[in-house]
Amino acid sequence: MSRYRRYDGGDPLAPPVDIAEALDAIGQDVMAGYSPERAMREFLRRGGDDQAGLDDLARRVAERRRDLLQRHNLDGTLAEVRELLEKAVLEERKQLARDALMDDGDRAFRELRMQNLPDSPAAAVTELGDYDWQSSEAREAFEQIKDLLGRELLDQRFSGMKQALENATDADRQAINEMLNDLNQLLEKHAEGTDTPEDFREFMDKHGQHFPENPQDVDELIDAMAQRAAAAQRMLNSMTEEQRRELMELSAQAFGSPALMDQLNRLDANLQSLRPGEDWGGSEQFGEGGQGLGLGDGTGVLQDLADLDALADQLSQSYGGARLDDVDLDKLARQLGNEAAVDARKLQELEKALRESGAMERGFDGELRLTPKAMRQLGKALLRDVAQKMSGRQGQRDLRQAGAAGDLSGATRAWEFGDTEPWDLPRTMLNGVLRRSGAPDGPLLSIDDVEVAETEARTQAAVALCVDTSFSMAMDGRWVPMKQTALALHTLIGSRFRGDDLELIGFGRHAQTMRIEELTALDARWAKGTNLHHALLLANRHFRKHPNAQPVLLIVTDGEPTSHLESSGDVYFSYPPHPMTVALAVRELDNARRLGAQTTFFRLGEDPGLARFIESMARRVDGSVIAPEAGDLGAAVVGSYLGSRRGQAGGRPGSYGDFFGSRGFWVG
C-alpha cells in the first residue's frame, strides 16, 4: 500500500547544492590555521550568503524555548477548577435564596456550608463530593469539575483526549477504562517477555483510535507513551508544592471515582520501569504571568521543551562523531516551521556534498585535509578575486603585443583570465550573434563570447616566489593574504602558463622550498628572523636548473634581512641587521641579476627603514618595488608576473606599474 504525505523538501526545482562558496570560506579558514574539519564546521555554523547556518537555527530554537517558558504558567487546570467551583457555589446560593418552600433550618445549614468552604479548591471539592445540590446549574458546574479533571489527566498521557472526551457518556468513560486496563496488561506482559506481536495487533485493532502516532510495534508504542508520561512528570516537578498537593487531591475526584487515577498510576509505573532512561526527574522554571496551561497542554509544552533541548544539542554538533544527519527534521519543522527544516536539510546536503565531492580526504594520520582538487577550486576563486581587483587597470593588455610569445596554431578556445593570446574576432562575433538569437535584448558582446587564438610555443619562465614567513607577517595580519597570493599565482601558472616553472620559497629564520599544499597549511611561525639570503640561494638554484627559461624573481616581505646562512650551514640571527647579513643578501641578489632575473619586491608595511633598504636593493638590480595593502597583494603579484611575461615579448618588466602608480602603489 502506498502512503503519501505533504512534501516538505523546499523548492523541488531548486538547483543542486553549490559547494563553491563553502570551499572558498573553508579554504580561507584553513589558510588562517584551522584544520579542514574545523573550517567546515565553522562554515556550517555561520552559513552562507543565502543560507542560514547552524548558529541561526540554534538561536531560533533558544528563542522558541524562552518564549514557551515566559508565555505560560502551570496554573491553568487549578484556575479552571476554581472558576467552576465559584460558579457552582454562586448558583447554589442563589437557588437557596429563592427557595421559599425549603425548611428554614435546612436552608440555613446549607448556606452555612457554602459560606465556610475551605480556601483550598481540592479540599472544597472533596467536601462537596456528597452535597445534594438544589440548583441544577450548580450541579452541572460541579460535575464539569470531575469531568474536566478526568479529561485533563487523560490528556496528559494521550494527546487530544481532553477534546475527544468532551461531553462524553458513561459508555465512553467505560471504554477508556477498558483501554487503560488492556494497555497495562500489554505492558506488563512485555516487561515479563511473554507478549507476542499478535497481542500488539489485537490491542491496536481494538484501541488504535487513541494512538495517532500509529506505532508499528510495542516498542514504538512504549517510546511514544513514555516520552509524554515523562513530560507529564516533569510538569508536576515544575509546579510549586502547593500546586502539586492540590492536583493530587483533586485527581481522586476525576470522573467521580478514584478508579481512573489508579489505572494512570499503574500506567506511569509500567512506563517508568520499561523506559528508565527518560527524563523523569527534570523540571522547568515557568514565568508567573502569561497563559495558564492545563495538564494536557502543559505536558505538550514540556514535550516541546524536551524536543527543543534535543534540537539544541543536535545543532550544537559538540559531541563526538556529530553529523548534521543527526538533526531531527520532523522535530525542527514542528517547532520552527517547514522553512527551518528546509534550511537544515540544505546544510545536511552541503555537508554530504563536501565530504563526497572529493574536496576533502583523510590522510594516513586520520586527519581531514583539502585535496588537490579543492586547492585548484580555491585557487580559481582567488584568481577571480584578483581579476576583479585588476579590472579597469590601464595598460593591463596590449593587443599589439599579445600572442607574440608563440606562433599561431590555427585553433581557438574560450578566453580565460591570464590569457595573452590575441582575440579571434570572427569566432568571437559569431558567438555573440548566436547568443543574441536566443536573447535579442542582450549585449552585443559578453566576456563569455570571447575566443582567443591558440599558440604553439611560448617562452618559458622560471619563477621564484619568495614569501616572508617570519613572526611579523603573522602578527600584523599578513599571513593569510600571503598564502592567498601564492595559491593564486600557483593556480594561474598551473592552468594558463604550464610551460613556466614555479618555485615557492618560504623564508623566516631559515628558508625552504614548499609545495603549495604545505604553504597553505603552514601554521604561523613565531621564531624571529628574516633570512632573505637563504631564500635567494634557493631561488638562484631554481634558476640554474632552468638555464633556457627567463628567470622571474618575486619577493614578498615586511622586514629587513635579520639572519643568514653561515658556511657551516648554521643560521646567524641579529637585530638590528648585521652588515654581514645584508652583504650576503645583496651578493645573492647580484647573482640573480647575472642570471638575468627580472626582480620585483613587494613591500608590506610602512617602516621607513625597510622602504629605504628595499628601494636601494631594487635600484641595484634594476628591479621594481610595489607597496600594496595586504588585501591587494594577490593582484599586485599576479599583475607583476603577467607584466614579466609580456616583458619577454618586448614589453618592459613591471608594465603594470602605471596602474599601481594611479593607485599610489608604485614606489620605484
Q: Which residues contact 599 (CB under 8 A, 6 or more apart)?
A: 553, 554, 555, 589, 592, 593, 618, 621, 622, 623, 624
Confidence band of 662 (pLDDT split at 50, 70, 90)? very low
Count of positions (residues) in the chain: 668
Q: What is the mean pLDDT of residues 122-141?
A: 88
pLDDT higher than 50, residue 174: yes
| DSSP-based helix, strand, coil % in the chain, nearest 5 | 55, 10, 30
User: How many Cβ atoms sit within 10 Å of the Cβ of residue 412?
Assistant: 18
- 3-7, 347-351, 582-586: which range is least confident on average? 3-7
Say if residues 401 and 646 touch (Cβ distance below 8 Å): yes
Query: Which pLDDT score, from 0 to 100, does residue 156 have?
Result: 81
CA distance 359 to 388: 25
Query: Which pLDDT score, from 0 to 100, does residue 650 have?
Result: 35
pLDDT tens for 365-411 read 666 667 777 777 777 777 777 767 666 443 333 323 333 345 555 67
CA distance 162 to 155: 5
Query: Which pLDDT score, from 0 to 100, does residue 398 have?
Result: 30
Query: Which pLDDT score, from 0 to 100, does residue 510 have?
Result: 92
Is pLDDT larger for residue 635 or for residue 553?
Answer: 553
What one-character DSSP code corresponds to residue 523?
P
Sign of CA dihedral 318, 319, 321, 326: negative
Q: What is the mean pLDDT of residues 344-348?
A: 88
Give the mean pLDDT of the chain.
81
Q: What is the mean pLDDT of residues 253-275?
A: 86
- Among residues 234, 237, 228, 247, the alpha carbon closest in space to that of 149 is found at 247
Query: Which pLDDT score, from 0 to 100, does residue 394 have?
Result: 36
Query: Which pLDDT score, from 0 to 100, does residue 289 have?
Result: 66
Is pLDDT larger for residue 15 or for residue 160?
Answer: 160
pLDDT tens for 485-503 read 888 898 888 888 888 999 9
- Among residues 533, 469, 459, the alpha carbon closest in space to that of 499 is found at 459
CA distance 223 to 226: 5
What one-character DSSP code corresponds to residue 399?
T
Q: What is the mean pLDDT of residues 452-477?
A: 81
Which grid coordinates are listed for 564? 643568514
Q: What is the mean pLDDT of residues 136-154?
A: 87
Is pLDDT larger for residue 102 or for residue 538?
Answer: 538
Q: Which residues contact 255 (CB under 8 A, 6 or more apart)?
A: 146, 147, 149, 150, 173
Say if residues 121 and 85 touch (Cβ distance below 8 Å): yes
Q: What is the mean pLDDT of residues 349-373?
A: 73
pLDDT tens for 439-459 read 777 787 888 888 888 765 456
Which grid coordinates are listed for 651? 614589453
pLDDT higher than 80, residue 535: yes
Q: Give the strand pairing for 47-48 and 51-52.
A: antiparallel
User: How many Cβ atoms sit within 10 Å of the Cβ of residue 82?
Assistant: 16
How far CA 648 is from CA of 405, 501, 596, in Å, comes to: 7, 15, 12
Q: What is the mean pLDDT of residues 616-623?
A: 93
The pLDDT > 70 percentage for the chain reads 86
Query: Which pLDDT score, from 0 to 100, does residue 377 have?
Result: 73
Q: What is the mean pLDDT of residues 8-30?
A: 67
Identify any residues that bridge with 450 across adjacent strands, giving them in sequence order: none
Query: Which pLDDT score, from 0 to 100, does residue 390 have?
Result: 66
Report the amino acid identity of residue 344.
Answer: A
How far CA 518 is from CA of 42, 514, 523, in Å, comes to: 22, 6, 10
Q: Which residues contact 106 (CB under 8 A, 6 or more apart)?
A: none
How far CA 409 is from CA of 412, 413, 452, 457, in Å, comes to: 8, 11, 11, 9
Query: Which pLDDT score, from 0 to 100, does residue 269 have?
Result: 93
pLDDT tens for 416-430 read 766 667 788 888 888
pLDDT higher than 80, residue 152: yes
Confidence band of 245 (pLDDT split at 50, 70, 90)? confident
pLDDT tens for 190-213 read 999 999 999 999 999 999 888 888
Which grid coordinates are listed for 661? 602608480
pLDDT tens for 549-587 read 999 999 999 989 999 999 898 999 998 899 999 999 999
Q: What is the mean pLDDT of residues 522-528?
A: 76
CA distance 515 to 249: 78
pLDDT tens for 48-80 read 877 888 899 999 999 998 888 888 777 788 888
pTM here?
0.60
Confidence band of 12 (pLDDT split at 50, 70, 90)? low
Query: Which pLDDT score, from 0 to 100, does residue 653 have?
Result: 41
What one-character DSSP code corresponds to residue 666?
B
pLDDT higher than 60, residue 649: no
- Among residues 37, 50, 35, 10, the alpha carbon closest in space to that of 317 is found at 37
Say if residues 147 and 168 touch (Cβ distance below 8 Å): yes
Q: What is the mean pLDDT of residues 277-291?
A: 80
User: How many Cβ atoms sit within 10 Å of the Cβ of residue 289?
Assistant: 10
Class of domain 461-663: alpha beta
How is the chain split into domains, by residue range? 20-72+307-370, 75-285, 406-457, 461-663
**Secondary structure of residue 195 in the 3-state scheme:** coil
Query: Which pLDDT score, from 0 to 100, does residue 101 have?
Result: 65
